[in-house]
Structure 1
Amino acid sequence: MPAPSPSSPPSSGSRSSLRELLRQGALVERHRPWPRAVVDASLWQTAGELLSGESSSLLALWGEPSAVHLSFFDQNSGEAGVMSLPCSGGTFPSIGRLHPPASRLERAIRDLFGLSAQESLDSRPWLDHGTWEARFPLGIAPRPAESVSYAFLPAEGEELHQVPVGPVHAGIIEPGHFRFTAAGETVVRLEERLGYVHRGIEKLLLGAEIDRGAELAGRVSGDTTAAYSTAFALAVEAAAGLESPPLAHWLRALCVEIERIANHLGDVGAICNDAAFPRIQAFCALLREKLLRAADECFGHRLMMDRIVPGGIRVLPQAETLRRLRELSKEIALSLPEIVQVYENTPSLQDRVVGTGRLSRELAKEYSCGGVIGRASGRLFDARRNLGYPPYPNLRFSIPVLEEGDVDARVSIRIREIEQSLGLIEQIIDGLPEGPANAPLSREQAASGEGVALVEGFRGDIFVSVRFDEKGRIARCHFRDPSWFQWPLLEAAIYGNIIADFPLCNKSFNCSYAGHDL
Structure 2
Amino acid sequence: MDAVAHIQAGQPTSTPWRYRLDEMAWRDLVEGLKHDSLPFVGLWCDGTDIHALFMPHDMQPLAATLALESGRYPALSPARPVSSFYERMIFDLYGAEAMWGTDVRPLVDHDVWQNSMPLAPVPGAAGDNKGMVAVQPSDAMQAASGTAMGSGPATGGYETPLHVAMVCEGETIRHAETVSGYAHRGMAQRWHKCRVDEANRLSGRYDAGCSAAHQAAFCQAVEHACGQQVGHEVSQLRLVVLELERVTQHLFTLATLARQAGARLVASRCMWLRESLLAKAAPVIGSRLMMDHSVPGGVNLRDTASMGTLCEQIADLAEEVYPPLVTLWQSYPGLSARLAGLAVVESTLLERVGLDGPVARAGGGECDYRRAMRAYEGLWHFNGGRHNGTLEDRAAILLDEVGESLRIIKALGPRLGLSAGGRIELTYEDGEGTGLAEGPWGAVLYWVRLKNGRVDQVFMRNPAYSALMAFEAVLPGQNVADIGLIRTSLGVSAAALDG
* Superposed displacement of residue 433, structure 1: 7.2
* Residue ranges of structure 2 left out of the alignment (5+ in a row): none
Q: Is the 2:311–2:412 contact (alpha carbons within 8 Å) kept by the matching residues of 1?
A: no
SS at match of 1:230: helix
Cα distance in structure 2, aligned partners of 1:438 and 1:145: 50
Alignment of 1:291-310 (within 5 A): 291-310=277-296
Q: Does 1:326 align with 2:326?
A: no
What is the aligned partner in structure 2 of residue 55 from structure 1?
Answer: 37
**Any conservation in 2 of the 1:50–1:56 contact (CA below 8 Å)?**
no
TM-score when normalising by structure 1: 0.91
Shift of 1:458: 0.4
1:371 is aligned to 2:357: yes
Residue 411 (structure 1) aligns with: 395
The CA deviation string for residues 458-485 of structure 1, in whole angstroms up to 9 with x for no partner, is: 011011111011x111111111221121
Distance 1:78 1:30, change over 3 A: closer
Q: 1:426 aligns with which of 405, 410, 425?
A: 410
Letter in 2 for 1:93: P
Choose the corresponding residue for 1:122, options 103, 108, 112: 103
SS in 2 for 1:222: coil
SS in 2 for 1:138: coil
Q: Note if 1:18 corresponds to 2:18.
A: no
Q: In the TM superposition, what is the alpha-carbon distance from 1:43 to its structure 2 partner?
A: 2.9
Give the Cα–Cα distance (whole angstroms) in 2 for the partners of residues 412 and 18 of structure 1: 37
Q: Do the aligned residues in 1 keep the contact of 2:183 with 2:495 (CA within 8 Å)? A: yes
1:126-149 per-position Cα deviation (integer Å, ceiling 9, x unaligned) = 011222221111122211112366
Distance 1:453 1:321, change over 3 A: closer
The alignment partner of 1:365 has SS state of: helix
1:100 matched residue in structure 2: 81
| Mapping 1:83-482, distance limit 5 Å | 83-147=64-128, 150-153=135-138, 154-155=140-141, 160-315=146-301, 317=303, 319-320=305-306, 322-385=308-371, 388-432=372-416, 434-435=418-419, 437-442=421-426, 445-469=427-451, 471-482=452-463
Q: Cα 1:377–1:92, aligned 2, differ >3 Å: closer, same or farther? A: same
- Secondary structure (helix, strand or coil) at the match of 2:377 reads helix
CA contact (8 A) 1:298 1:322 kept: no
Identical columns (%): 27
Q: How many residues align?
A: 494
Task: Measure, in 1, the Cα distance between the counterparts of 2:93 and 2:150.
Answer: 27
Question: Does the CA-based 8 Å contact 1:38-1:84 persist in structure 2?
Answer: yes
2:433 counterpart SS class: strand
CA contact (8 A) 1:267 1:508 kept: yes
CA distances 1:432-470 after superposition (whole Å, capped 9, x unpaired): 37445343434xx2221101112110011011111011x
> Relative to structure 1, is the Cα distance of residues 69 and 188 closer, same or farther in structure 2, using a 3 angstrom cutoff?
same
Q: 1:13-51: per-residue Cα shift (whole Å, max 9, x none)?
A: xxx3232122211222245xxx11111223323333444
Which residue in 2 is equivalent to 1:29? 14
Q: CA deviation at 1:297?
A: 1.7
Distance (Å, rounded) in 1 between the aligned partners of 2:401 and 2:261: 22
- AA paired with 2:53? S
Distance in 2 (CA, whole Å) between partners of 1:514 and 1:54 is: 31
Distance in 2 (alpha carbons) for counterparts of 1:206 and 1:311: 21
User: Is the aligned partner of 1:67 residue 2:43?
Assistant: no
Q: Counterpart of 1:344 in structure 2: which amino acid?
A: Q
C-alpha distance in structure 2 between counterparts of 1:128 and 1:157, whole Å? 24
Q: TM-score, normalised by structure 2?
A: 0.94
| TM-fit CA distance, 1:289 | 0.3
Amino acid in structure 2 at the alignment position of 1:302: R
The letter for the 1-side match of 2:259 is N
How far apart are the structure 1 equivalents of 2:386 and 2:25?
Answer: 36
Aligned pair 1:494/2:475, yes or no?
yes
Contact map agreement 1:51 1:57 (CA 8 A) in 2: no
Listed as ranges, the gaps of 5+ residues in structure 1 are 1-15
Secondary structure (helix, strand or coil) at the match of 2:437 reads: strand
Farther off after superposition, 191-200 or 493-502: 493-502
DSSP-derived class of the 1:508 partner: helix
Over the aligned positions, Cα root-mean-square deviation in angstroms equals 2.0
Deviation at residue 66 of structure 1 after TM alignment: 1.3
Q: Work out the CA distance in 1 between the residues paired with 2:178 and 2:47.
A: 27
Cα 1:156–1:226 shift into 2, 3 Å: closer
Using the TM superposition, give the Cα deviation of residue 59 of structure 1 relative to its aligned residue in structure 2, in angstroms: 0.9
Counterparts of 2:335 and 2:472, CA distance in 1: 23
Corresponding residue of 1:6: none
Alignment partners' CA distance in 2, 1:436 and 1:314 = 10
What is aligned with 1:12? none
Query: What secondary structure, in the 3-state scheme, does the structure 2 residue paired with 1:486 have?
Result: helix
In structure 2, how many angstroms separate the alpha carbons of the residues matched to 1:383 and 1:178? Answer: 31
> Aligned equivalents of 2:370 and 2:410: distance in 1?
17
- Inter-partner Cα distance in structure 1 for 2:410 and 2:485: 33
Q: Which amino acid aligns with 1:474?
A: V
In the TM superposition, what is the alpha-carbon distance from 1:329 to its structure 2 partner? 2.6
| Amino acid of the structure 2 residue aligned with 1:41 | E
Structure 1 contact 64–139 (Cα < 8 Å) conserved:
no
Contact 2:314–2:406 (CA under 8 A) maintained in structure 1 = no
45 and 375 in structure 1: CA distance in 2 versus 1, 3 angstrom threshold: farther
